Amino acid sequence: MLKPKASELNSSAAPGTAPVAPRIIPRSEHSISRSGISANALRVLYRLREGGFQAFLVGGCVRDLLLGLEPKDFDVATDALPEEVRRLFRNCRLVGRRFRLAHVFFGRETIEVATFRAASAPSQAEEPIPDADPEEGEGPEIDEPLEPELLEAAGGSADGTADDAERAVDETGRILRDNVYGSIDEDVWRRDFTANALYYNIADFSVWDYVGGAEDIASRTLRLIGDPETRYREDPVRLLRAVRFEAKLGFRLDPGTAGPIASLGELLAGVPSARLFEETLKLFLYGHGARSFETLRRRGLLASLLPTVEAYLAAHPESVVEKLLVRGLENTDARVLGGKPVTPTFLFALLLYGPIAQAIEAAPPQHWHELATILEACDRAVRAAQAQIAIPRRFALGVREMFSLQPRLEHPRGRRALRALEHPRFRAAYDLLLLRAELGLAPRATAEWWSRIQQVPAPERAQMADALGGPAEPKEGMRRGPRRRRRRRSKSNPA
Ligand code: ATP
Ligand code: MG
C-alpha cells in the first residue's frame, strides 16, 4: 500500500504566505562536509532516505557547520510521519502530545527527528524539553540529571507513552484528528531565526534556503523570520533565544529583531517556569555564560528572568557581588570548555548570591553567621526566583548546603574540619569559598588551607587539622578572633 507522506497530507504554505521556492545551494558552493556531521545523524538521514522519505539536517547544526563550529546536537527534519520514523528505528521513542517527535537513541547521543510542521501545528513552545537527562545528551556534562516531572510540567511526556490514548491514528500512523504535519515549505516559516532555518539535504548534499539564512550567517546577522513582535508574542522564549544566540555566536542583531526585546520582556511571565529553567541552563551552562549574563542585562531581560537579581545589581552598581557573579560564570565557562562537569546548583548559588547576601544582611549582624539566618536567606531568595524559574528541589537544597557550609569552611576547627571534606557539597562550597576569597569576602589563608589539605595524603590531613589547635584554637594566621567581637564581620559574610 502506498503510504501517505506528510507532504501529501498538507501541501499548502502557511496562511498568508505565498509558496516560495527555496534557493538551493549546491555542495560545491557551501562548506558543509559530511565529516563534520555526527555518524549517528548520518545513519538516521540515510535510513530515512532509503525508506523513501525526504531527510534534512535542520536548525542550529546546519548554522554551526556553516560557521565552522561543532554543533551541540543534530536535528533531522523529514516528511516521514512519526509512526513511520518509529518503524524505521528500533532505538526510537515518540514524545510530545499533539505534535510528536521521534528521538532516536545511540548511547549518549540522541538524534531528534521531526516531521515537517504544518502551518496549523502547535508551536515549538508546546514541545517537550528535548533531553530527559542531559547526562545522556551532548553538550556540557551536568552532574545532576533533570527530574522527569519537569518534563511533564513543560508539556512533554517523560516516557513518550502517556498521551497515546488522546490520539487517533490510522494504520499508517496518520493522525486523523489533527492536521499538524506538513511539508518543508510550511515547516520553514515556523522556525525562529533565518540562521536557524537552513536545511541540508542528504539526497544531494545541497542546502535549501527559503529565508536568506545563508546570507545572514555570512554577515553574522540574527534576524527573526516574519514580523518580530508577532513572533516574540507567539513564543516569548524567542526573546531569550535571541539573547542566547547573540551571546553564543557573537552575531549582530538585526535592528528589527533587537528593537522590541526590552519592551516585551514581561511576556516571559507567561512562560511555563520549567521551560525557563531549561532556557536558563542553556544560557549559562554551555560555555558562554558570562556573555549571556552581559547580553541579558544589556537587553533588559534579566529584570524579567530574575527580577530580584537585577534589582540587587541595579541597586549596587559595580558591586563586589557583581564581580563575583561574573568571575564565577567565567570559571564555569572555562570548565565547560575544558570538558569538566558543571552543576545548576553552583550556577544558582552564583546568580542568587546578591539576593541571599541581602536577606542575610537584613538580619541583625549578630545573627549573620547563624545557620538559621543563612538557610532562611537562601530559602527566601530561591522562592523569589521560583516565581519565574522552576528550580528543582535538589538544586535549591544544594544552594542551601553550599551557603551553610561557608562559615564551617571559614572557621575550620580541629579534626572536625576533616568531616567537611566528606560532605557531598564540599566541592561546590569550596569553589564558592575560593571565589569569595579572591574578592576579599573570605580570608585567603583559610581558602589556601583548604586547597592544601585536599592535595596531601590522609595522614598529613590529620596533622594539618590537629595543627589548627582544636575546636577553640584556630592556627595563627587563620585566627579571626572571637566571633562576637569581630569588627570586620562583613568579610566572612557572603557579601
Ligand atoms: P543550539 O545550538 O542551542 O542547539 P538550535 O538553533 O539548534 O541551537 P534548538 O533549541 O536545538 O536550537 O532548536 C532547533 C531548531 O528548532 C532551531 O534552530 C529552530 O529552527 C527551531 N526552534 C527551536 N525553538 C524554536 C522556537 N521557540 N521558535 C521557533 N523555532 C524554534
Ligand atoms: Mg540544536
Ligand 1: which atom is nearest the Cα of residue 241?
27
Q: List the one residue out of 164, 43, 174 whose CA is nearest residue 93.
A: 164
pTM score: 0.84
SS3 readout for 112-175:
EEEECECCCCCCHHHCCCCCCCCCCCCCCCECCCCCHHHHHHCCCCCCCCCCHHHCCECCCCCE
Given the C-alpha cell 562548506, which residue does it identify?
31
- Residue 73 is a catalytic residue: yes
196 lines ligand 1 (CB under 6 A): yes
Given the C-alpha cell 563586589, which residue does it identify?
320
- Residue 187 is a catalytic residue: no
- What pLDDT shows up at residue 171? 56
431 lines ligand 1 (CB under 6 A): no
Q: List the one residue out of 88, 15, 8 whose CA is nearest residue 47.
A: 88
> What's the CATH number of domain 6-268, 3.40.50.360, 3.30.460.10, 2.60.40.3140, 3.40.50.180?
3.30.460.10
Distance CA 393, CA 411 (A): 28
Residue 192, pLDDT above cutoff 60: yes
- What pLDDT shows up at residue 479? 36
Of residues 41 and 177, more confidence is placed in 41
Catalytic residue among 79, 192, 216, 333: 192
HSE at residue 116, side-chain half, CA atoms within 13 A, is 29
Element (H or E) spanning 44, and its range?
A: helix 39-50
Q: List the one residue out of 251, 280, 332 whose CA is nearest residue 69.
A: 251
Please report, for the chain, the start and end positions of each structural domain, with discontinuous segments joined by +.
6-268, 310-468
206-249: pLDDT as tens digits = 999 999 999 999 999 999 999 999 999 999 999 999 999 999 99
Catalytic residue among 64, 73, 185, 216: 73
187 lines ligand 1 (CB under 6 A): no
237 lines ligand 1 (CB under 6 A): yes
Contacts of 108 (CB under 8 A, 6+ apart): 135, 136, 137, 138
SS3 readout for 361-421:
HCCCHHHCCCHHHHHHHHHHHHHHHHCCCCCCHHHHHHHHHHHHHHHHHHCCCCCHHHHHH
244-to-237, 240, 250, 284, 339 alpha-carbon distances in Å:
10, 6, 9, 9, 20
DSSP 200-258: EETTTS-EEESSSHHHHHHTTEE-BSS-HHHHHHH-THHHHHHHHHHHHH-PEEPHHHH
Ligand 1: which atom is nearest the Cα of residue 64?
2
142-185: pLDDT as tens digits = 554 444 333 333 333 333 333 443 445 555 554 444 578 999 99
β-bridge mates for residue 111, sequence order: 104
Rounded distance from Cα 236 to ligand 1 centre (Å): 13
75 lines ligand 1 (CB under 6 A): yes
Q: Whose CA is nearest to atom 16 of ligand 1?
A: 59
Mean pLDDT of 364-376: 95
60 lines ligand 1 (CB under 6 A): yes
pLDDT band with cut points at 50, 70 and 90 for residue 429:
very high
Rounded distance from Cα 61 to ligand 2 centre (Å): 6
Mean pLDDT of 284-300: 98
Q: List the one residue out of 197, 252, 260, 269 whose CA is nearest residue 231.
A: 260
pLDDT band with cut points at 50, 70 and 90 for residue 115:
very high
Contacts of 366 (CB under 8 A, 6+ apart): 484
- What pLDDT shows up at residue 469? 65
Rounded distance from Cα 179 to ligand 2 centre (Å): 25
- What pLDDT shows up at residue 154? 39
First CA to last CA distance, the chain? 71
Q: Residue 432: what are its φ and ψ, rounded to 5°?
A: -70, -40
Mean pLDDT of 61-68: 98
DSSP 261-305: HHHHGGGGGGS-HHHHHHHHHHHHSSS-HHHHHHHHHHTT-HHHH
461-494: pLDDT as tens digits = 988 988 886 544 443 333 343 344 444 444 445 4
- What pLDDT shows up at residue 340? 96
192 lines ligand 1 (CB under 6 A): yes
147 lines ligand 1 (CB under 6 A): no
CATH topology classification for 310-468 = cca-adding enzyme, domain 2 (1.10.3090)
Mean of per-residue pLDDT scores for the chain: 86
Rounded distance from Cα 245 to ligand 2 centre (Å): 11
Rounded distance from Cα 59 to ligand 1 centre (Å): 6
- What pLDDT shows up at residue 15? 45
Rounded distance from Cα 63 to ligand 2 centre (Å): 10
- With the most atoms of ligand 1 within 8 angstroms of its CB, the residue from 37, 112, 124 to mutate is 124
Ligand 1: which atom is nearest the Cα of residue 61?
7
Mean pLDDT of 3-15: 44
- What pLDDT shows up at residue 150? 39
pLDDT band with cut points at 50, 70 and 90 for residue 363:
very high
- Residue 216 is a catalytic residue: no
